Structure formats: C-alpha cells, structure tokens
C-alpha cells in the first residue's frame, strides 16, 4: 500500500515554491522541512510532514505533462479579482 499521499494542494504549492525560488528537489526538500515560512505557505504547520525529494520529482513528472494541456487564467480586475480558473485546453 505504501505511504499516505500528500494533499494535492500541498504538492502544487511546493512546485510553485520550487519555481519561484529556482530550487532543486533536494534543496526544496530541505527548505520545506526546515523553514517556517515555507511550511506556513504549504499549510502543514510546524509538525506536519512535507514531501521528500523523490515525491517532488514524481509529482513534477506527473503534473507537468498534465499542465501543458491546460490553461490558467487569473482575473486582475473587478468582482473576480484574484480568482483563478484552470481549464482544459
């Protein structure tokens, strides 16, 4: 059966952190485990588990081809400001 999976939103946020800070999987694992700012962003708290480098690598390998087939829009103005929509292309 293996280990319990991490919530999808946590893995997506970890992927964003890697992209924004230009982090390798090992460096991301270290920062996500030890830095309170990143843990707070992920929403895992001080004692929650974070993804290891292999989990991050496998999620990237799965998510990037899926993301290439989608469009992502963020509305900058009006009532829907700050909301986003993910749609299949």
Which residues touch 6 (CB under 8 Å, ≥6 apart)?
49, 50, 51, 55
Residue 46 in domain: yes
Residue 69 in domain: yes
The tokens of 52 are what?
């290891």
Continuous segment of H or E residues that includes residue 57 = helix 53-68
Residue 1 in domain: no
Residue 15 in domain: yes
Residue 3 in domain: no
- Domain residue limits at 53: 8-88
Residue 61 in domain: yes
Number of domains the chain is built from: 1
The tokens of 58 are what?
């496998």
CA distances from 83 to 27, 30, 33, 67 (A): 30, 31, 29, 18
pLDDT, average across residues 13-22: 89
**Which pLDDT does position 66 carry in this prediction?**
72
In this structure, the strands spanning 84-88 and 70-74 are: antiparallel
Higher per-residue confidence, 25 vs 87? 25
pLDDT > 90 in the chain, percent: 28
**Which pLDDT does position 24 carry in this prediction?**
92
Q: What is the pLDDT of residues 25-54, one digit of tens each?
A: 999 999 999 999 999 998 888 888 888 999
Higher per-residue confidence, 74 vs 61? 61
């Amino acid at each position: 059966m293996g280990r319990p999976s991490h919530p999808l939103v946590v893995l997506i946020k970890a992927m964003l952190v890697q992209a924004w800070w230009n982090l390798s999987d090992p460096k991301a694992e270290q920062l996500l485990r030890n830095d309170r700012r990143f843990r707070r962003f992920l929403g895992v708290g001080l004692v929650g588990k974070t993804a290891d480098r292999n989990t991050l690598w496998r999620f990237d390998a799965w998510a990037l081809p899926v993301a290439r087939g989608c469009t992502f829009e963020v509305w900058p103005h009006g009532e829907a400001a700050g909301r986003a929509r993910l749609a299949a292309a």
